[in-house]
């Protein structure tokens, strides 16, 4: 099955270029088995010609890989943010006791998390690190009702940094 995913990923990126990278990154964000490093690696391999200079390769990587990948990751993150934002409370109330969570704890965390710029720095840092699962970050932000505008901006910038690291 994983081989089929890799082959489809190759086809999408080769045939659709930057739009294919956006689609692959969106799917990677939604479907866990596709690693973001694989999307970046394939995109770099298929979209950046080997005879380019370093400067040409970096500008092409930015335009055809990093920016579309960041847009796809941001759109995918919005799905989990929205689900947690609107459906998180009933889930926490019903199943939270099994994980040591209660809605009162979520509300307390929400009050603490939305105050100050250190939270924005933490969110941006977590988004930038390739080994931190972005689904958990998105769900947490939706659960504590992190401001959507700030979430989108920090998710895009953090995903852009993450994409550049992976490329």
- Quick one: which of 44, 73, 46, 49 has its CA closest to 61? 44
Other Cβ atoms less than 10 A from the Cβ of 31: the count is: 10
- 143: phi then psi, degrees, rounded to nearest 5: -65, -45
Query: Is residue 38 predicted with pLDDT exceeding 70?
Result: yes
What's the confidence (pLDDT) of residue 96? 64
Q: Are 73 and 155 in contact (CB under 8 A)?
A: yes
Confidence band (pLDDT; 50, 70, 90) for 33? low
Chain segment 111-127, per-residue pLDDT in tens: 666 666 778 888 888 88
Beta-strand (E) ranges in 49-107? none
CA angle 101, 108, 126 (to 5 degrees): 80
What's the confidence (pLDDT) of residue 67? 92
* Cα dist from 112 to 62, 89, 107, 138, 149, whole Å: 36, 18, 9, 17, 18
pTM for the predicted model, two decimal places = 0.81
C-alpha 163/C-alpha 167 separation (Å) is 6
Q: Average the pLDDT over each of 39-43, 95-99, 134-138 and give the range with the smallest value.
A: 95-99
Q: Are 34 and 13 in contact (CB under 8 A)?
A: no
């Amino acid at each position: 099955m994983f081989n089929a995913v890799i082959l489809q990923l190759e086809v999408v990126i080769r045939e659709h270029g930057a739009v294919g990278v956006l689609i692959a990154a969106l799917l990677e964000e939604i479907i866990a088995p596709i690693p973001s490093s694989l999307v970046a690696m394939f995109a770099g391999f298929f979209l950046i010609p080997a005879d380019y200079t370093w400067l040409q390769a970096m500008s092409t990587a930015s335009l055809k890989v990093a920016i579309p990948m960041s847009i796809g990751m941001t759109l995918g993150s919005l799905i989990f943010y929205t689900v947690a934002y609107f459906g998180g409370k009933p889930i926490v109330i019903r199943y939270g006791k099994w994980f040591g969570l209660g809605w009162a704890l979520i509300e307390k965390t929400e009050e603490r998390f939305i105050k100050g710029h250190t939270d924005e720095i933490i969110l941006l840092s977590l988004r930038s690190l390739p080994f931190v699962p972005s689904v958990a970050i998105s769900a947490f932000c939706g659960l504590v009702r992190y401001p959507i505008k700030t979430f989108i901006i920090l998710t895009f910038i953090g995903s852009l940094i993450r994409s550049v690291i992976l490329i």
